Structure 1
């Protein structure tokens, strides 16, 4: 059933997420930090499945008279339903689609998640659309770190060597990762968010610092993550001064690289690329970590390093064949036009347009 977010659900949900190896973004602590920061706590609901009295499936949603949606905005890295097994995913899908009075809108879900597959199967001939939200790259960090350069193109290997040499010639280079428990978390975040607030991002309104709600989210989420032992704040420093920042989360076999910041005054030293390479080395050095999840779009520098991509999709199932067909065709046409237009834009331009869209939506 779809129900308000009951405090008594939090602990069983978190335990199920950890037991099933779900991504850190599936945990209720992360999601409630998002909901509180963006004023969505009262809208948040949970679709649950129990078996023999035990929780076996959870999908966070917002429910209205015309649609059931996953709770997303521009700061959503991933929506990860939690399911104990394929049967739990199938039951969640059946319950979700039983609400035929409105559209079911699953956004920011993995294309190959058991629930996504179950919703596709359960929808049958009902009109539906599925569009790719992003293809997120990831780097395999299992095995021997010494073999990693051989996976890269010759140009990328030489480029990394040139940047490393240039950086070393500029001063003393250091790299550190903080867990935020016994340190001044507020000061670390201030330093990191200063680097994330690049000039063009501030102009576009897409920097974290551009929005009090975003600052609140990443601050509250960092506090939760530090308490949960999953926060990793990475800094690349030159002569003691931070020139690049990574807001990361590490849980189980995955190190998620969520937000990148860098000092544009040192752009010629490639701080963004170099901190990414440092995080790859850091992941290799930890036996329990088997991948660095770069998240977001598969930009060229990420693609050069990546071992593969994971598709996030938006899957919409419409309430009736007649209305659904019209909606589906219109949605597909708009999506095709948007995809073609976005493909021709630079990264900063995409950020500016996204920020404008978000302001208009608010």
Structure 2
């Protein structure tokens, strides 16, 4: 395996102030905080998260603080920008350092499998100015290249970041792009499913009837404290399946379980938690955990009893969750949070949004840094695809 290397720095004699073309808004002050320092900014942080240009529940303090306390072994700092008068925050994102692909190491906006969304929190009334300060802070504190993975590439925050980088004279690139399913919440569930073939609709109804024939079947749509109580059912269900066998279930790791319970409890107290489940004879056989943040919801986790796999309980509980989404007056869209691998919602949700990694580079070698970063990520992706292909060949070989 290639060693962990750092992308080439600029000439030491180069003045860091040359990274910024225009002068930044003097009324904004950058902050680079430890976990304890960030906790002291809690009221301002919550206010920013609740009114951000684009919501990101994973950068809310209710989620991020428990994750950093319990589950994250790496050193992650919190970059923020606040108003000099009044002290309100106008930008925030967690930052750490990791490899881009196979070899090069660079600062990242911190995402991970439990938080597959890297949208920085920006105040709507000064998004571009706040983004300029945030980018400048990241480069001054951590280096001239910044990777922002899991960005919604056509979103308003991505536009603000690009505009801010342009104003600062920085180079911008994007890579690792993919499409992931989203659900526009317009009209009714019946109206949305009306565009599906009658054969598919009959298939969904038949699957539900077959489950009902097994016993007393109930669909629960839970929010707030009731959803938080039911979260233990989800943890047990996930651990009983293949994730438990592979050790990747939340409950398989006590630190991850502790983070998840605290985060879910705090998000429930903030009115952000939704949980939909199917119960058969008073036993949970499928569950979906979602976070609602402003006009969007995020389908965070799903689990089902694999003993009932022939009845498609995962599809049935997602249909139940969709009913909950459509009955929520404040929602405009649901993000599946699905990655590049095939997912259960691929056939249920027709619409797609473009996601990927933004790369922002400054200094005299910014073009070279972008080229190195692109090449490293592309090499890593090629190697990963090759490894997956080899695994598929070996699986077929074993079956013969």
Normalising by structure 2, report the TM-score.
0.75
Structure 2 match to 1:139: 183
Do residues 130 (structure 1) and 172 (structure 2) align? no
Structure 2 match to 1:215: 257
Do residues 19 (structure 1) and 51 (structure 2) align? yes
Once the two structures are overlaid, the 10-residue window that deviates more, 100-109 or 277-286, is 100-109
Q: Are the structure 2 counterparts of residues 118 and 341 from structure 1 closer, same or farther at C-alpha, using a change threshold of 3 Å?
A: farther
Equivalent of residue 338 in structure 1, options 384, 390, 393: 384
- CA deviations 1:340-362 (Å, max 9, x no partner) are 7658988xx9xxxxxxxxxxxxx
Post-superposition shift, 1:243? 0.6
Do residues 55 (structure 1) and 99 (structure 2) align? no
Post-superposition shift, 1:176? 1.2
- CA deviations 1:182-241 (Å, max 9, x no partner) are 6882xx333211111243222322222222222122111111112212222322011222
Is 2:228–2:273's contact at 8 Å kept on the other side of the alignment?
no
CA–CA separation in structure 2 for the residues paired with 1:28 and 1:238 = 36
Structure 2 match to 1:352: none
Do residues 178 (structure 1) and 222 (structure 2) align? yes
The root-mean-square deviation of aligned C-alpha atoms, in Å, is 3.1
Trace 1:1-362 onto structure 2 (pairs within 5 A): 1-5=30-34, 6=37, 7-20=39-52, 22-39=55-72, 43-50=76-83, 52-53=85-86, 54-62=88-96, 67-85=106-124, 86-87=127-128, 88-97=130-139, 101-120=143-162, 122=165, 126=171, 128=173, 130-132=175-177, 135-179=179-223, 181=225, 185=229, 188-297=230-339, 299=342, 301-318=344-361, 320-321=365-366, 322=368, 324-339=370-385
Q: Are the structure 2 counterparts of residues 245 and 154 from structure 1 closer, same or farther at C-alpha, using a change threshold of 3 Å?
A: same
Is 2:106–2:145's contact at 8 Å kept on the other side of the alignment?
yes
Structure 1 match to 2:16: none
CA–CA separation in structure 2 for the residues paired with 1:307 and 1:37 = 37
Q: Secondary structure at the match of 1:181?
A: helix
Is 1:93–1:115's contact at 8 Å kept on the other side of the alignment?
no
Is 1:94–1:119's contact at 8 Å kept on the other side of the alignment?
no
Post-superposition shift, 1:333? 2.8
CA–CA separation in structure 2 for the residues paired with 1:107 and 1:344 = 27
Is 2:210–2:311's contact at 8 Å kept on the other side of the alignment?
yes
Is 1:69–1:107's contact at 8 Å kept on the other side of the alignment?
yes
Is 2:221–2:321's contact at 8 Å kept on the other side of the alignment?
no
Post-superposition shift, 1:35? 0.7
Is 1:196–1:245's contact at 8 Å kept on the other side of the alignment?
no
CA–CA separation in structure 1 for the residues paired with 2:48 and 2:170 = 32
Is 1:32–1:41's contact at 8 Å kept on the other side of the alignment?
no
Normalising by structure 1, report the TM-score.
0.82
Post-superposition shift, 1:145? 2.7
Post-superposition shift, 1:263? 0.5
Is 2:286–2:313's contact at 8 Å kept on the other side of the alignment?
yes
Q: Are the structure 2 counterparts of residues 241 and 212 from structure 1 closer, same or farther at C-alpha, using a change threshold of 3 Å?
A: same
Is 1:16–1:84's contact at 8 Å kept on the other side of the alignment?
yes
Post-superposition shift, 1:19? 2.0
Is 2:174–2:356's contact at 8 Å kept on the other side of the alignment?
no
Is 2:55–2:294's contact at 8 Å kept on the other side of the alignment?
no
- In structure 2, the gaps of 5 or more residues are 1-29, 99-104, 396-400
CA–CA separation in structure 2 for the residues paired with 1:177 and 1:287 = 15
Once the two structures are overlaid, the 10-residue window that deviates more, 165-174 or 49-58, is 49-58
Is 2:153–2:354's contact at 8 Å kept on the other side of the alignment?
yes
Q: Are the structure 2 counterparts of residues 44 and 300 from structure 1 closer, same or farther at C-alpha, using a change threshold of 3 Å?
A: closer
Q: Are the structure 2 counterparts of residues 323 and 90 from structure 1 closer, same or farther at C-alpha, using a change threshold of 3 Å?
A: closer
Is 2:227–2:273's contact at 8 Å kept on the other side of the alignment?
no
Q: Are the structure 2 counterparts of residues 250 and 331 from structure 1 closer, same or farther at C-alpha, using a change threshold of 3 Å?
A: closer
Q: Secondary structure at the match of 1:170?
A: coil
